Structure 1
């Protein structure tokens, strides 16, 4: 299975880079992983609604450029469906069974995802009703994908 994570912004903190590197290494046993970083748009502290939409739209256009037609797109969104770790493992496994071998997970920037990206998504996934920093979300997502594969294979780790 080919898994792509398309995310807005670069990782800045070394501890996050190290965690991403570790989970990427662990996942290489289970899937082909690619992480694509698109630039985040400059967003001043105070913006009008129109300015916020413009930022999300520009980031969304950059995201959509990396999505191929045959890709199953999972957008991380606060209003998405929440799954247990076992349910997430089943979700990934079911996609493979259904012949969906290219999956892209989309992590938006600090303002979230554009309407166009959410419309392109085949599934909206929420990890919590809480808001997480998008850089940290990358680590959380990778850990859950790794956990999902371990559960799928019946390997110890997930308890």
Structure 2
């Protein structure tokens, strides 16, 4: 299974180093692709076909780390790539073909920070699935 993150905007300091850190950590567990688009209008054009697509949204499903790891395992068992969509500063527009909505919590996060939180949770979920300690 490949994990694709489609996000509005180019990652900028101070978040670049954090994104690279989690990309390296995740490389042991999963194939990760990050696709950066210029604006919300470009999101729909960059969604991979036939992937299971989850839109990060305030009104999405709220999962703790264990439940998120089970969510990932279910996607893996289905044999489809998994795509996460992160909209711009004002959230993502309505997009066709969204299979799921995921909330990172009730706080409003800058979209660049939301990307880091998602990458960290993907890493943590893979550690859980591998039966490795995940609190550090």
TM-score, L = length of structure 1: 0.82
Q: Indicate whether 1:113 and 2:89 are aligned.
A: no
1:154 aligned partner = 131
- Partner deviation per Cα, 1:62-110 (whole Å, 9 max, x = no partner): 111122321110000000010000000000001111222x111000001
Which residue number corresponds to residue 9 of structure 2? 9
Equivalent residues, number: 136
Larger Rg: 1
Larger helix percent: 1
Q: Give the Cα separation in 1 of the matches to 2:76 and 2:53.
A: 13
Cα distance in 1, alignment partners of residues 23 and 50 from structure 2: 23
Q: Unaligned stretches of 5+ in structure 1?
A: 41-58
Instruction: Report the CA distance between 1:158 and its aligned residue.
Output: 3.2
| Partner Cα distance (2:47, 2:104) in 1 | 22
RMSD: 1.2
Question: What TM-score do the two structures reach when normalised by structure 2?
Answer: 0.95
The yes-or-no answer on 1:37 pairing with 2:36 is yes
Structure 2 unaligned residues grouped into runs of 5+:
none
Name the CA distance, whole Å, in 2 between partners of 1:16 and 1:114: 24
